[in-house]
Amino acid sequence: MKILLVKPAPRLDTVRSVHGLVFLEPIELGYVAAAVPAGHDVKTLDLRMARRPGQAFTRTLRSYRPDVVGLSGYTHEARQVVALAGAVRRTLPGARVVVGGHHATVSPETYNVPDVDAIVRGEGCAPFRAVIEALAAGRAPSGIVNVMLPGADFDAGEAARLPVYPDLDGLPVPRRDLWDPAAYFCVWPSERHPRGQTIFPPVALVRSSFGCHMDCSFCVVPRLCRHRHMTRSPELVAEEIASVAASHIYFCDDETFLDHDHARRLAQAIRERGIRKHYFAWARSTSVVRAPELFRQWHQIGLDAVFLGFEAVTDEELQAISKHGTVADNVRAHETLREMGVAVQGGFMVRPDFGRAEFDRLRQTIVQMPPAQITLTVYTPSPLSPAWSAESAEFVCDPFDLHDCMHPLTPTVLPLKEFYEQFASLVWDGARKTPFQTQRSRIPRRDLVRLWWSATGYVRSIRKAYRDFPKELW
C-alpha cells in the first residue's frame, strides 16, 4: 500500500510567523513511518512548507494516490485536520483516513466525523502499525488498543479514558530520510557564539524521555503520563544522536533533567562514544538549583542552552499555578547556568487578568534581568488539565481553534486590542535581552538581518492577533 503522512499548515498567523525563528522537523511523522511494516511505500508531506497548502495537498493526493492518509495535529490544528480529511474523501473516495497526534489523544470526539476512518491515540507507533496490517489484510481496524472508530459505535466512555503509554525503548528510530533535514532549524542561543557561524543551524529533534511527575495546573502532561517520567535507554539515545547528520540536537522532552541519574548516564554514554555536538534542552529551575554539577557535566559535552519556564514574577503567581518553585529558584538557576557558560531561554506567561500594572511589572523584571532569550506566551490551559476544567465555563472563544498559547481563552481585563498592544511591546522588549546583543561582531550580518526581519514579523502578528476573536470582543 501507499501511505501518505501529513503535517498540516497552521491557520493562525501567530504560529506561522514564528516559523522564521523556529521550524522543527515533523518528528511525529518520522516515528509513525518507522513503525509501518516492510513492503509498504511511505511518503511524508509537511504542508507548513507550502505557499498554498490546500493546493499542495490536493496535488499530492492526485499524483501519489495513497491508499492510506495519516494526519497528525495539535489542538489548534484540529479544524485543518478535519478539512484535510474531507479533501481526501472528495479527491480519493477509496483512501482510508487515519488521524492521530496530541489532539486525537485528549479530545478524540473532535474527529468522530464521516471523513475519518480511524483515530489513533497516545503513542502512535504500535497502533498505526496494527491499523496498516489490518487494512492490508482487508480487515476493518477494529479491536486495536488505542484506536477508536468514528460512527455509530464511537464510545464516549472510551474517549474519556486516556491511553497508557508504552516503554519508550520499544519505539523505532524516526525515519528522517523522508524529509530534507537541512530545511529544519531554530535560533540557537549561546553565551559565546562561534565567530562567523550561523545562528540558524539545521536542527534534529531527539527524544530521551516522556512525561512529568509534577502537577502544574495548566499542563496536561502529568495526567497523560500518569505522573511518571519515562526514560529511554541512554545507549539507544546516544546511538540515535550519533546517527543523525545534524550537529545541533534539540531534545523534545517534557523535561530532560527530571531524572538526574538518567541524565548523568546519558551524558556519559555520549562522552564514551566521542560524540561532539551541540545540545538544547528544557529543564525546571529547581532541577538546576538542586543539581548544578549535572548541568556542568552536560555543558562539557556540548550543552549550549536550556529553556527554563520562569512563568511569573511573584511567588504568589507561581503558587497559583502549582509550579512548585519560587522566583528565587528562577534567579538562582539563571545565574548558575550563565556562570558555567550555558545560555538561558526564559519563558514567561502573560495572563488574561493582566492590567497595565501587571504588564509594567513583568516588563521591569525582563529589563533588569541578565541576558536571556526571552519567550512570552499567553497563559492557556491544556485540554483536560485542572485549569481547563476550572475555567472552561468562562471561555469566550472556540478553545480549540485558538489554542496556540498566544490567545487568551477567558475574558481579558484590558480591551483585547490594548492587551495585544501591551503584549507585542513586551515581546519586543524581551527580544532585546538576547545574549546575541553583546555578540553582534561574531554573527554573520545576513543572520542579524534575518533575525531582525523574523522578529519584526512575529511581533507584528501578535499586535494583530485580536482580530482572530469575534469582532464584538475587540
| Domains assigned to the chain | 2-160 (3.40.50.280), 180-473 (3.80.30.20)
What does the pLDDT read at residue 351? Answer: 98
Q: How far apart are CA 385 and CA 219, in angstroms?
A: 5
64 grid coordinates: 501519489
- Residue 404 — φ and ψ, nearest 5°? -120, 15
| Euclidean distance between CA atoms 358 and 243, whole angstroms | 47
Does the pTM of the predicted model rise above 0.75?
Answer: yes
CB 44 within 8 A of CB 66: no
Q: Is 111 left (phi over 0), alpha (psi -120 to 50) or beta?
A: alpha
Rounded-to-integer distance, Cα 71 and Cα 264, Å:
37
Please compute Rg for the chain using Cα positions.
22
pLDDT of residue 440: 85
Q: Which of 122, 206, 203 lies closest to 165, judged by CA?
A: 122
For residues 221 and 31, what is the distance between their CA atoms, to the nearest angstrom?
Answer: 20
Residue 86: which H helix or E strand, with range? helix 78-91
Pairing mode of beta strands 68-72, 2-7: parallel
> What are the start-end ranges of the E strands in 170-242?
185-186, 203-206, 209-210, 230-231
d(CA 18, CA 386) in angstroms, rounded, equals 28
Averages of pLDDT over runs of 10 residues in the chain (474 residues) are 98 97 98 98 99 98 99 97 98 98 98 98 98 97 97 93 94 98 97 95 98 94 94 98 98 97 99 98 98 98 98 97 97 98 98 98 97 97 96 96 97 98 98 91 94 97 97 92
d(C-alpha 414, C-alpha 393), whole Å: 20
pLDDT for residue 438: 85
CA nearest neighbour of 73 among 146, 164, 7: 7
Q: Which residues, 6+ apart, have CB-to-CB distance to 127 below 8 Å?
A: 100, 120, 121, 144, 145, 146, 147
